[in-house]
Chain A
Amino acid sequence: MRHLLRRLHARIRYRRFDANLDEEIAFHRAMKQREWERAGLSDADAARRSRRDMGNITLAREDARAVWIAPWLDGVRQDVRYALRSLRSQPGFTIAACAALVLGIGLNTGLFTVFNAVALRPWAVAHPDSVVTAHHVDSGGGGTSGFGIAEYRYLRDHARTFSGLIAWRQGGGRLGHEQIDSQTPFLFVSGNYFDVLGVRMMHGRGFLPDEDRVEAPQAAAVIGHRLWERQFAADAGIVGRVFRVDDVPFTIVGVAPPGFDGTFPDAQSFWVPLASLQLLSANPAHASRLLTNPTHCCSRMAGRLAPGVTRNQARAELEVLSRVFRTQWNWTEPALWDDPIVLSGTAFLEQPHSKAFLVPPFALMFAAVILVLLLACANVGNLLLARALARQREIAIRLSLGAGRRRVIRQLLTEGFILSCCAGTLALLLASRLPALMARGVLGDHVASRIAPDARVLAFTLGVAALTCLTFALAPALEVTRAAAGTLVAGRDVSPAGRRMRSVLLAAQLALSALLLAGAGLLVRGVEHARTQDPGFRIDGVFVVSLAFPGQAYDQARGRAFVSELHTALSGDDSLGAVALTNTVPLGSARNMTGFRMSGEDEARSRIVQVESVTPEYFGLLRLPSVAGRHLDATDRPGGAITINEAMARRYWPDASPLGQTLLFGDRPREIVGIVRNARTTELDEAVPVYYEITAGGPSTRLLVGSGTTNPAPRVRAVARGLDPRVSVDARPLAAYRDRSLEADRAMALATGAVGLLALLLASVGVFGVFSYVVQERTREIGIRMAIGARAQHVIRLVLGSTARTSLAGLACGFLASLVLSRFLTGKLYGVSRFDATTYIGVAAVLVAAATLATWLPARRATRIDPAAALRLE
């Protein structure tokens, strides 16, 4: 121990240690010299003799030193100081290299921060490792489903492997002051939600057990921190205030701490007890059945494991209890009594089936930013190579004096490492700003609150920095030390191997930027095409009218009656054009699905298909022609005949005609009386099978009004007010729904485009740098040629020479790669061909222009070389 301390002491005070060692050896030599003097030699001779007698002092000194200070540590310190000095002496290079690296690493860190916040972070609760989410596995489809509230309550009361179980359902509602058609997400949660999760309230408290009783629902709410700041101006006396949800007053009992956003992937604004589902539903009886009926499904469930319990044990117990519950209540399907349960962690990525949702957009963006990083590495690698080639003489001397090749490589790598470290630090700073912007674009507002770098992001950045250092610094270092030995005598010319590597790096840069730009170009064209192409139905001139009913006053029957009265009143109005009703807005986010089976099949063969519940004017309004049979018309009734679209016909009756066929919905037979042309009302890029039926009304019925360019809202409002002034009306053009459905893709296309332009900038700077260097290094040669009589065009051809050939090869490779890899983009292209000529020609033009611009300046400088001055330069 003491001897470790001694070593440490020597390492820290190494200068003093060196001085002492020198003095010790100098004393020894002085004594030896005195002895020789006494033996009769002159002063000078004695000095020389004593020095010779000491043998190799330097080696002895090094050996003595090596006992205390490990030689490799010494070497590292030397390398770092040398690297810092040489970087400082060439500020232009250092800044350019650093900037390129900051860009590459920063983009990667930014994207990873977003990914971390969305997919990898567990919930912001106490001890998240012991919290798990529970799902039932669908034995048939392989999907997962939740738990019924009655089942949840049973499990909560009987499970001993959990210290607490919670359940929640997603809700959406209009806060007091907001516009109709805007839904604020919130959660219905069980009474023990905040206690089990261990969330400490910032103001007030969580829910009491009394507040979540089905028999006596309480209108209590806990609001989130962001809502508190934005809507209630961070009022400190917030507890006890009342706010309205869908016109129902709720009392605020607490404010959640900042950082807690709920247990859903999207950020939640506030939480209310499960029992209050009855207060907010248009059909309270249905809501209370949902809360008590043992066969109803599906809410989400999670829980905190009791100390010392493993997930397997907990899962086994839940499965047993679930089976007991279901057999006890005689579930409709005995096959479902043994549904397996799966427990997973709270991070979004760990939830079953989250990967299909997360992977495609993130994979695309990660691919893009990794390409930019590689580009930056190639750029910096080229710069480093140029510098190393300039120092070839120095390196050759070192190698011939006896420095190991590994040692010289280590020194060159140290420079690269310092660059990466600086860039990494700056990138982390950048990453605290950038991700918020990226996330808002790609994923919407909800997630932005949780985005901030944490330890995982830091580790990621360090890893990326180290990898980039290796990538861009290793190859040039190897190359230069290999070539250095033979060039000592040859003078300043660059070895052919060095030149080749430089061209390769340049070609790589151009290939990568071609790839990125082509990808970006395709995406942008795809989104534009989606906006302008014909989706198979009419969008222009159609408005979607939404109604909002005052809370408790309207139940389902009254609402239906009102809508139908309004429909009749408006249909008679000439100024409005056609008016139709529909339960799901085209290109909206909601869709209704039902199960059906062919006549003669049994229950097990039930298929799921999407349904549009409409009135007969729908088809005329949206210009959907009938391709066989007839349209639904005024003679049809809800629950009666149906028509299907071409996609459904093709899927289920590929050979026969479906007209006249009867399908069974539950027990009711319904006849297919017509086939409608495909309309891409669900997704813009493909037609899904859909059947149409006459609507029976419903809580979300909207009106479609084909009023051309004039907004029908004033007229509709006037009519509605005549029927009941409490109902509020809002109208929005159908085009707005289309744009909203494209928003995410548009953001991603723009982001990729921005990244592509950055890549182009990097590549252009790289081209400029390389060509400038080439001109500078061949100045003497150019001067000689010009002196002998070469003209400007010969000089330019010389300068561009082989580098141009490899650059073109690089561009070609890039295009080829993008042709091959665009396969992965097909989902986002909305019908634009992968081999779209416009995109490729456009990208080629941009790249050629950029390359020309980048080489123009150096080439001009080359032609301006004064032969006399160049010859004197040697």
Chain B
Amino acid sequence: MSRPPDLVQGTLDLLILKILALEPLHGWAIGQRLRQVSGNVLQVSDGSLYPALHKLENEGWIKAEWKSTGNNRRAKFYALTRSGRRRLEEETAHWDRLSAAITCIVRLEEA
């Protein structure tokens, strides 16, 4: 991702929370889903994904559980918690406000 890191980190949290709101997934699947849904525009580097996941788990917004996948392998599945859902709503509202503000400025007519 070529945007400045701090914007990415905050937005990444929002994206992960939203994806997990739909269904519990493991880390690899989250990265895949993100790519698919955004049409290959948004790709998370593996170096940022896992620290972000662990930070969210530390804060208590997502919880983790080890489950076995189809191929007899174990994977760590993450799911949204109740406080995570609240956080998701806050972050969504914040993003809406932010993006609306940016849009206003970007769409200003040049004199």
Chain A interface (Cβ < 8 Å from any Cβ of B): 2-3, 6-7, 20, 23-25, 27-28, 30-32, 53-57, 59-61, 63-68
Contacts and interface: CB of A to CB of B under 8 A. Distances in A.
Contacts of B49: 60
A27 B51 CA distance: 16
Interface in B61-111: 66, 73-76
B71 to A, nearest CB: 9
Contacts of B28: 27-28, 31-32
Most buried by A among B48, B58, B60: B58
Interface in B31-57: 45-51, 53-55
A694 B49 CA distance: 106
B76 A55 contact: no
B58 A55 contact: no
Contact of B51 (A2, A23, A54, A67): A67
Report whether over half of chain B's contact residues are helix, strand or loop; otherwise say mixed. helix
Nearest to A54: B46
26 contacts: A3-B60, A6-B58, A7-B58, A20-B66, A23-B76, A24-B75, A27-B27, A27-B73, A27-B74, A27-B76, A28-B46, A30-B73, A31-B28, A54-B46, A55-B45, A57-B47, A59-B47, A60-B47, A63-B47, A63-B50, A63-B51, A64-B50, A66-B51, A67-B51, A67-B55, A68-B58
Report whether over half of chain A's contact residues are helix, strand or loop; otherwise say mixed. helix
B23 interface: no
A3 B46 contact: no
B13 to A, nearest CB: 13
Given A25-B50, A54-B47, A60-B51, 5 more contacts: A3-B60, A7-B58, A23-B76, A24-B27, A60-B46
A54 to B, nearest CB: 5
Enumerate the 3 nearest inter-chain pairs by beta-carbon distance, A residue then B residue, closest first: A63-B51, A60-B47, A31-B28
Contacts of B51: 60, 63-64, 66-67
Most buried by B among A32, A56, A57, A63: A63
A480 B76 CA distance: 46
A67 B47 contact: no
A552 B66 CA distance: 97
Nearest to B29: A31
A54 B45 CA distance: 8
B18 interface: no
Contacts of B45: 55
A37 to B, nearest CB: 13
Nearest to B69: A27
A60 B60 contact: no
Given A2-B60, A27-B26, A31-B28, A56 B54 contact: no
B60 A61 contact: no
A67 B54 contact: yes
B8 to A, nearest CB: 14
Interface of B: 26-28, 45-51, 53-55, 58-60, 66, 73-76
A68 B60 contact: no
A27 to B, nearest CB: 5
A20 B66 CA distance: 9
A68 B74 contact: no
A38 to B, nearest CB: 13
B76 to A, nearest CB: 5
Most buried by A among B26, B48, B51: B51
A55 B47 contact: yes
Contacts of A57: 46-47
Given A3-B60, A24-B27, A55 B74 contact: no
Contacts of B53: 64
Given A55-B45, A55-B46, A27 B75 contact: yes
Contacts of B27: 24, 27-28
A3 B58 CA distance: 6
B73 A68 contact: no
Contacts of A68: 54, 58
A67 B75 CA distance: 20
Contacts of A67: 51, 54-55, 58
A60 B50 contact: yes
A24 B73 contact: no
Contacts of A53: 46
Nearest to A30: B73
A63 B53 CA distance: 11
A24 B47 contact: no
Contact of A24 (B48, B50, B58, B59): B50
A552 to B, nearest CB: 88
Nearest to A2: B60
A683 B51 CA distance: 81
A3 B54 CA distance: 12
A792 B74 CA distance: 73
Contacts of A28: 27-28, 46, 50
B38 to A, nearest CB: 18
A57 B53 CA distance: 15
Contacts of B74: 23, 27
A65 B54 CA distance: 8
Most buried by A among B45, B50, B53, B75: B50
Contacts of A55: 45-47
Contacts of A2: 60
A60 B54 CA distance: 11
Most buried by B among A54, A60, A66: A60
A9 to B, nearest CB: 11
Contacts of B26: 27
Nearest to B27: A28
Nearest to B60: A3
Contacts of A3: 58-60
A56 B59 CA distance: 25
Contacts of B58: 3, 6-7, 67-68
Most buried by B among A27, A32, A53, A66: A27
Contacts of A23: 74, 76
B104 to A, nearest CB: 36
B34 to A, nearest CB: 14
Contacts of B47: 54-57, 59-60, 63
A605 to B, nearest CB: 85
A66 B55 CA distance: 9
Contacts of B55: 67
A223 to B, nearest CB: 67
Most buried by A among B26, B54, B58, B76: B54
Contacts of A27: 26-28, 73-76
A425 to B, nearest CB: 38
A750 B19 CA distance: 83
A46 to B, nearest CB: 15
Contacts of B66: 20
A53 B49 CA distance: 13
A398 B51 CA distance: 27
Contacts of A24: 27, 50, 75-76
Most buried by A among B27, B47, B53, B76: B47
Contacts of A61: 50
B11 to A, nearest CB: 18
Contacts of A32: 28
Most buried by B among A31, A55, A57: A31
Most buried by A among B28, B45, B55, B75: B28
A24 B66 CA distance: 10
A498 to B, nearest CB: 42
A371 B55 CA distance: 53
A776 B91 CA distance: 68
A212 to B, nearest CB: 72
Contacts of B54: 64-65, 67-68
A155 to B, nearest CB: 67
A25 B76 CA distance: 10
A54 B48 CA distance: 10
Contacts of A59: 47
Nearest to A3: B60
Most buried by B among A57, A65, A67: A67
Contacts of B73: 27, 30
